[in-house]
Amino acid sequence: MMELLKCGDKSLDLSSPVIMGVLNVTPDSFSDGGRYLQVDDALRQAESMIQDGALVIDIGAESTRPNAHPVSEQEELDRLLPVIERIKQQLDVVISIDTSTPKVIIESALLGAGLINDVRALQRDGALAAAAATGLPICLMHMQGQPNTMQQQPYYQSVVEEVQAFLQQRIDACVAVGISREQLLLDVGFGFGKTLQHNLELLGRLTEFEVFDLPLLVGMSRKSMLGAILGSAPVNERLFAGVAAATVAVMNGASIVRTHDVKATREAIAVAFAVKNLELTKT
């Protein structure tokens, strides 16, 4: 697996786990919706996350929380592009765009985004071609259904095998349009069309996704799976559970951890990686 990921005019060293800070410029995201709609507020939050150790800022302008509804292409562009432009001008960080929309992919790349993070794994019409045209790395995520329906009785005969099969199919689709395999990252999609049991099984068996020999990105920060484990804990009381989940993920092979809580997560996964690395050097 390549340890240096070329992200536009920047490179990301994946030889140790990387923190991706979450920045939602939406009114309705489940955790921080409405807080960073103004460009100055978004810039300050990005700066704060970088100071806390984020090497990537993942900017999203369309909520993909359960029961969320799509926004128009123009609305997504209007929310996202001014933030990308300001962060690119003023901060030294890899900018990831959390989008599934072809025009947003193209326009964001032109403004200096370095990574495409698509919860729909480039399945929207035109998304594969748009991503290929940018030459940027892409994170392919598994989701059963769509955000507005995905938590309505998700079902798998074997969640690990079915997620693996989906990711293989999307890898093949990318390679077929000329996207290099070395540009791909994978995300099993915690909370996207999965029950708590499905999520726990994926986390516990995350090492089985190393079969792809591609970097694994995980995102469990503040999600309802953590609240369920804690007995219906609200979003603002899931920090320690999220840090624990990130630690398990890194022990099980995750290369990038997407989080709202950068400093706490960075410190926890540093310990996890030190232990994991020690184990590797013994073998």
Rounded Cα gap, residues 11 and 3, in angstroms: 10
* Catalytic one of 65, 120, 170, 258: 258
Nearest to 258 by CA among 150, 119, 144: 119
Q: Are 64 and 119 in contact (CB under 8 A)?
A: yes
Task: Output the six-digit token pair for 47.
Answer: 């700066």
Rounded Cα gap, residues 147 and 186, in angstroms: 19
Helix (H, G, I), strand (E, B) or coil at 7: strand
* Catalytic one of 65, 222, 223, 238: 223
Helix (H, G, I), strand (E, B) or coil at 163: helix
Catalytic residue check, 223: yes
Tell me the β-bridge partners of 97: 59, 116
Catalytic residue check, 10: no
Pairing of strands 4-7, 10-13: antiparallel
Rounded Cα gap, residues 57 and 88, in angstroms: 11
Residues with active-site annotation: 223, 258
